[in-house]
Structure 1
């Protein structure tokens, strides 16, 4: 992964706003799959998107997760839901991710993982969550998820090949030197109903074995692979009653070890690991502190670590880097603009955040990024304004640091 040797490099976490045409085309997809017309639209959309990223000043560009179908302009689940169409062994369940409370899974330390309606943050702010005018954007159309009823296999070879080809063609057209594609982690992949595997650990490792094929395809193409793993932090809020930190770390370590297994033998210098506390616009008062997760994150042997650092609930946690040593050759990709607010960060604030991290881990080891995906979380006009603020702030920081 390229380091910030001459100036602060910039990137984002993955999801970028879809065009109206692409959203409409997603809605028209049928069980027969993608048509040649859809494939042309998707390829052209990625080309336009990468060109715009380069023009905005983004160094490490992405395909915006355009190959991951989004149901609506506001969609918190596309980063995860896309995997349903790329895995064998699943069947429709009728379970609604946002409403159903019947899915329960146990893990080490008597940890029981529940579903969105039982989040502790949602319980603590029940009145606000139930008010459609509160600004807590959780309401969506029904989001049905499948269940696992047979051996998990990877069936998304054509889809990931299209993602790779589209990004590579777009990078060549725009002159981009580095590009990434996000892919789902085993821990996040396993957050669906399991009716086949005997144990939670067996299930998580089956997810790792299946998703490994997607990881390998992206890396073999010479691209950067982003492992999307909100579950590492977000699961904490989905456990009732609240576990001890030690029990939660044991629960999480299984997922970390499964990911390590999935990455065995691959070029992990081009892997970036993304951790966040979930994209919904809620109070987040029950988020676990980053100080309890950072060592687990750093135990994943990859080339880059992406995490929230601009979110007002977590910005203060830059302090964890005062007594941590970054693995040799690795970079951090802190979020210096956030998906969690419509306020566009001032470039000077962005620069200050970057300079602070540069002082902790070395300027060459900082790649300025976003907290999470902007697509489906903020309005497209605001999303692009945030990316412009990101690159403007990086330019200010570079003038100060180099």
Structure 2
């Protein structure tokens, strides 16, 4: 995992805006797959170039090749399930705003909250809420060519700048969010099968020399999905999903892995989110070299004090979100620096990476805002670095 004793490095949590030409192709619907494939190498290079220009040190492909929600791409890389359209079975859970919907029914009934993609999601990529995906047979990995294409494009683009790069992938518990089990005898075997599928994706990424980012909003936001669970019950639920994730990571060096957790990216109350303190030990039980945790969101920014008495695993770094996706207001670099200085005092400046709460690409109002946030994130990291490392220069 990249580290520096001279300055705070800068990265982000994943999704970035697609270049306009590529976005138009994705929005054109079926029949443009070959054109998309032809455009992707140049589009990935453009996205990496923009990250470099914004001052980002650890870059990715912006997840611009992935259709639909960031979880949707894995449906193209698995077999053993079917789409159930318009069925009469109730959803398997209350959804990632379940507790908030219970407590703020008027807010949601009025059409607020949920997942606001600010027009960044073409209609061709939106799956009907009436569609459920059901595991009907043994799950198998079918993504070898697709993940290799992602790897090749990012390796070429990052190599042009001699930059460290990461590829995100989802976790077993997050896949379970949208995949109903009608085949495996119990949760353990179902999660184990998902973990075996994802192990192949994870291994391909790390064997290629890229960092693997595990996107695991499931770990905190599963709490919202089961409104009647107590904290001890939810911890047992979450521990089983962490066990599956650790199974998927078998044989992969922790220093090649970073774990991203957040409370979902819905623009809503979040008053019923589970506190980080209730699950932080589970988060840190995943063998990773870096932990990316939401910390600028107004419901969770106060939790920086938790690190006064929680210790990172030896050799690990913390990437707190010091720029958020919940607002189009661009954080001032001085505020970014203040947030970083808080964490540096608790975990050590050498163990700190400046990050974002979540992927910015689909969450703020316009690509201009995304790139401005990353620029000011980088400037804030420079301000904090001057304060933290000036004695060493």
Q: TM-score, normalised by structure 1?
A: 0.90
Q: Report the Cα offset of residue 19 of structure 1.
A: 2.5
Could you tell me which residue of structure 2 aligns to residue 46 of structure 1?
A: 44
Could you tell me which residue of structure 2 aligns to residue 108 of structure 1?
A: none
* Cα contact 1:128–1:136 (8 A) shared by 2: no
Alignment of 1:302-313 (within 5 A): 302-313=288-299
Could you tell me which residue of structure 2 aligns to residue 346 of structure 1?
A: 332
Greater Cα shift, 40-49 or 12-21: 12-21
Q: Report the Cα offset of residue 33 of structure 1.
A: 8.7
Could you tell me which residue of structure 2 aligns to residue 75 of structure 1?
A: none
Q: Does 1:149 align with 2:133?
A: no
Could you tell me which residue of structure 1 aligns to residue 64 of structure 2?
A: 66
Please give the secondary structure, in 1, of the residue aligned with 2:79. strand
Could you tell me which residue of structure 1 aligns to residue 108 of structure 2?
A: 129
Q: Does 1:188 align with 2:186?
A: no
Q: Does 1:200 align with 2:200?
A: no
Return the alpha-carbon distance in structure 1 between the equivalents of residues 48 and 162 of structure 2.
Answer: 8
Greater Cα shift, 303-312 or 11-20: 11-20
RMSD after superposition: 1.9
Q: Report the Cα offset of residue 131 of structure 1.
A: 2.2
Q: Report the Cα offset of residue 4 of structure 1.
A: 2.6
* Cα contact 2:19–2:47 (8 A) shared by 1: no
Q: Report the Cα offset of residue 17 of structure 1.
A: 1.3
Structure 1 residues 51 and 158, CA, compared in 2 at 3 Å: closer, same or farther?
Answer: same
Could you tell me which residue of structure 2 aligns to residue 74 of structure 1?
A: none
Return the alpha-carbon distance in structure 2 between the equivalents of residues 316 and 38 of structure 1.
Answer: 43
Structure 1 residues 339 and 101, CA, compared in 2 at 3 Å: closer, same or farther?
Answer: farther
Q: TM-score, normalised by structure 2?
A: 0.92
Q: Does 1:102 align with 2:90?
A: yes
Return the alpha-carbon distance in structure 1 between the equivalents of residues 23 and 191 of structure 2.
Answer: 32
Q: Does 1:281 align with 2:267?
A: yes
* Cα contact 1:67–1:159 (8 A) shared by 2: no
Q: Report the Cα offset of residue 342 of structure 1.
A: 1.1
**Structure 2 spans left out of the alignment, 5+ residues:** 118-122
Could you tell me which residue of structure 2 aligns to residue 81 of structure 1?
A: 72
Greater Cα shift, 302-311 or 190-199: 190-199
Alignment of 1:2-401 (within 5 A): 2-28=2-28, 30=30, 34-35=33-34, 37-70=35-68, 78-94=69-85, 102-104=90-92, 113-115=93-95, 119-132=98-111, 134=112, 137-138=115-116, 142-143=128-129, 144-173=131-160, 175-191=161-177, 192-241=179-228, 243-378=229-364, 379-401=366-388
Please give the secondary structure, in 2, of the residue aligned with 1:197. coil
* Cα contact 2:25–2:32 (8 A) shared by 1: no
Return the alpha-carbon distance in structure 2 between the equivalents of residues 154 and 28 of structure 1.
Answer: 28
**Structure 1 spans left out of the alignment, 5+ residues:** 71-77, 105-112
Return the alpha-carbon distance in structure 1 between the equivalents of residues 94 and 66 of structure 2.
Answer: 25
Q: Report the Cα offset of residue 90 of structure 1.
A: 1.4
